[in-house]
Amino acid sequence: MGLSLRLFLEQAIVMDFCRKSLGIPGTFPAVLEWIGGHEDEMRTRSFVARYGLPSRWIPELARFGGSLPPPGDPAWDRLSERRQEELLSRSPEGGLRRRAGRLFHAAQCLGWSPEEVASLSASGWSLLEGRLERLDRNRREEVWQRALESGLESELLEKVAPWKEKEPELSSSGSETVRPQAHVLFCIDVRSERLRRHIESLGGYVTYGLAGFFGIPFRFQPYQKPPGQIQAPVLLNPRHRVQEIPRAYEIERADLHFRRHQKTRSLIHLFHELKDHVITPYVLVEALGWFYLFPFLGKTFFPRGVRRLMDFLRSLFLPEIATALTVAKTTEAEALAMVESEQHARIRKACLTLLGPHTRSISSETVEELRQKALEERRTLERLSPKAQEELSVNLPQEADLVRKLRNLYLVTTRRTRVLMETIMTTGFTLEEQAFYIENSLRMTGLMRNFSRLVLVCGHGSESINNPYESALDCGACGGNRGIPNARVYVEMANNPAVRDILRKRGIPIPYDTHFLAGEHNTTTDRIEFFDLEAVPLTHRRDLKRLWRDLGEAGQRTAAERDRALPPVFGSGRRSGLPGVERRSCDYSEVRPEWGLSGNAWFIVGSRSLTGSQANFSGRAFLHSYDPSIDTTGRDLESILTGPLVVGEWINAEHFFSALDPVVFGGGNKIYHNVTAQIGVMWGNEGDLLVGLPAQTLRDGERLVHEPVRLTVLIEAPRGRIDAIISKNPVLRDLFRNEWMLLIAADPEDREFYRYRFPDLWGKVSGLTR
């Protein structure tokens, strides 16, 4: 629609211009024909359009009133000559002057003093000039790009340089005798890096990084929400299903919650119906419009207060309910029993409604007989047993009617049974699957022994309102959803004694007093919330309290660090501590709730001895834990490189191209965004759906905050192992050999860094200083 309007207007303008200035109709053939007959005039017109009217021509044009002569006027020939003179005078001057100018520029860029320039020998000068001569003008951008990336690469190598001097550790898990205060598993996300650094700086904590779905892919159904939310990277197509259901002790409140939720839903539905109707909106605005004034003013001037009030009202009407996730898989017999008991209840209800109160006391055998009859594929004329007939007191037509209604109204059919069985059977994970997923993730990160008493599994999610780009701030490894369901599933599995028995046999002894705990890092406010606390043993109360306090402290430090990097919040006046970041999370005019993944530049796969707990990557590095000494076959590294790294590259490329061309690849300015039909955003009323990130994600209003660089991948592993993995996987071959990412290996065999360049492969990185 926008496009067609624009084309229509453009056509009208072209028509008008051609008629008035050239005296021809504005059609394509007419314009072509005119150009054929007036080539010089066309060139001169195009020259003027491009460079403007040269001031030297003005006296010549005085008789035309200072504007261009009419088409076909003999004055055009004279102007054409003038144009050629002008072009000649604009061309770069050859000879000595040009060379001197070049030297001047080069000297200025390199910061040379006049003495240094004077001391330049003839050969030195010709070398410099030769280099400048060879530099293709079209490659200038590439040189700048490489310079930017090389600067960042040096910065990275400087940060990890201490690794070269370290003695190879016997075991990656550090000292075997002292247990850390707590282990914390984080997502590889660049925003976890800050929190990891701060929590480790408090002492006693050991952190690990792995993809934020914690290696467990599933389809999730949140409580009272539609199913099918995929909690895995888009590279995977999960087959497991997990449901969020109220805990057993919430039975009463869950019932209340359910009824109120239904009511709210129908009210919202009614409201939308009225709003989208042809006539009712006029009345609706008159009647309800005023009520919008209070939230509007409140949200504008007191966003935090309004949020607190809204939370309070919501907790009164729809109280939060403790939930559990269906992680364990039911056996076929169990599933059958569940379906059976559900159908029995339906049949009793049906008898009560259809036949009357005398059926209250029918025996279970009769109900089962009815169920079997309803489920029978072939319709038989056989009647119920005499006992059942007596209990139900039905004649033949009544009996047939009852069975028919059971099938059609109460859905007691074979088909329905199969669907229910299928749903129950695909929910959850078998014991073997649980052990596989937990073993896999622990082995991959290198956390295999010396477990602390508390292991926090920390997913992450963001919090903002009025933000169509919210999922870009959530967990990429969870398909753009919040990461907490995966953390909760992980914890449920890892705390299962049967799973631990299997793991012990496979060489991962998790002590009996180790408890896994699920948490979520709110990346907008840097608060950490714990989940399923009712499962924490009483013996771990003190450990939990210490962890909670330390995470609070680390979160505050992280928030303060982040807040300094964000432009000041309007109205807060100060730039420190939580309130600033908190306001961003609830302000509906906030265009930049957090920087998100902007600034990402490095992807480091390695142990903490490489990244060092003291090194500050300023929230620019994806950190994936990996222990090359455990993974002798390279399978774990292969999984990391083909999974999380590929997703990391997508994120990097998305930021790179959005920064490179905000209009074509990015999302342009967020202020003009128009959310369209819940499928995407458009710019105002025109053009296409926007594909990339908005300018506010990448710029602070004046300058680019995200430097557009390709991801530099640093892997702690023998070069041969990396080579073998790259050559076996087309996706990695394409990414590394075509230089979509830059690769450096930290080879533990000789403790040196090597740069990957196809096809010569590895070149030693010498001299780490810039």
Does residue 236 interact with another protein by CB under 8 A? Answer: yes
Determine, following the binding rule CB under 8 A, whether residue 713 of this chain makes contact with another protein. Answer: no
Distances (CA, A) of 531 to 287, 324, 456, 463: 42, 10, 10, 17
Confirm or reject binding of residue 235 to another protein (CB under 8 A).
Answer: yes
Query: Which is nearer to another protein, 188 or 499 (by Cβ)?
Result: 188
Per CB under 8 A, the segment of 19-27, 32-40, 227-235, 365-373 that binds another protein is: 227-235
Q: Which residue's CB is nearer to another protein, number 446 or number 662?
A: 446
446 binds another protein (CB under 8 A): no
Angle at 631 between CA 626 and CA 635, to 5 degrees: 95
Q: What gap in Å lies between CA 403 and CA 347, rounded to an integer?
A: 10
Distance CA(184)–CA(202), nearest Å, equals: 13
Site for another protein (CB under 8 A): which residue of 4, 237, 364, 632? Answer: 237
Q: Which is nearer to another protein, 314 or 635 (CB)?
A: 635
CB of residue 236 to another protein, shortest distance in Å: 5
639 binds another protein (CB under 8 A): yes
Tokens 């569940």 belong to residue: 338
> With DSSP H G I counted as helix, E B as strand and the rest as coil, what are the percentages for the chain, rounded to 5?
55, 15, 35
Residue 56: DSSP 8-state: G
Q: Nearer to another protein by C-beta: 359 or 441?
A: 441
Choice from 200, 550, 627, 638 touching another protein (CB under 8 A): 638
The 415-444 contact track toward another protein, x by CB under 8 A, reads -------------------------x----
Determine how β-strand 686-689 pairs with β-strand 712-716: unpaired
Tell me the closest approach of the beta carbon of residue 636 to another protein, in angstroms: 9
Q: Nearest-CA neighbor of 726 among 645, 623, 650?
A: 645
DSSP 8-state symbol, 22: I
Contact between 642 and another protein (CB under 8 A)? Answer: yes
Q: Give the one residue of 180, 209, 233, 599 binding another protein; rule: CB under 8 A.
A: 233
Segment interacting with another protein (CB under 8 A) among 311-319, 506-514, 633-641, 749-757: 633-641
CB of 609 to another protein, least distance (A): 24
**Beta carbon nearer to another protein, 544 or 640:** 640
Based on the shown chain and the rule CB under 8 A, indicate whether residue 36 belongs to the binding site for another protein: no
Residues 492-509 as b or e (16 or more Cβ within 10 Å = b): bbbbbeebbebbeeeebe
**Distance in Å, CB of 429 to another protein, minimum:** 15
Check binding of 61 to another protein (CB under 8 A). Answer: no
Nearer to another protein, 425 or 646 (CB): 646
Residue 182 contacts by C-beta under 8 Å, 6 or more apart in sequence?
Answer: 204, 205, 206, 452, 453, 454, 455, 456, 543, 546, 547
C-alpha torsion sign, points 479, 588, 699, 695? positive
- Measured from the CB atom, the residue of 417 and 639 that comes closer to another protein is 639
Q: Is residue 318 near another protein by the rule CB under 8 A?
A: no
Pairwise CA distance, residues 46 & 281, whole Å: 54
Candidates 733, 751, 764, 770; binder of another protein (CB under 8 A) is 733
Residue choice 643, 667, 668, 708 for contact with another protein (CB under 8 A): 643
Can you give 497-547 as a three-state secondary structure string?
HHHHHHHHHCCCCCCCCCEEEEEEEECCCCEEEEECHHHCCHHHHHHHHHH
Which CB atom, from 261 or from 737, has the smaller least distance to another protein?
A: 737
Could you say whether residue 731 binds another protein (CB under 8 A)? yes
CB of 603 to another protein, least distance (A): 15
CB under 8 A: which stretch of 183-191, 478-486, 538-546, 634-642 binds another protein?
634-642
3-state SS string for 164-202 = HHCCCCCCCCCCCCCCCCEEEEEECCHHHHHHHHHHHHC
Sequence-separated (6 or more) residues with CB below 8 Å from residue 487: 214, 457, 458, 459, 518, 519, 520, 531
Residues that bind another protein (CB under 8 A): 211, 215, 233-237, 440, 638-640, 642-644, 646, 725, 727-731, 733
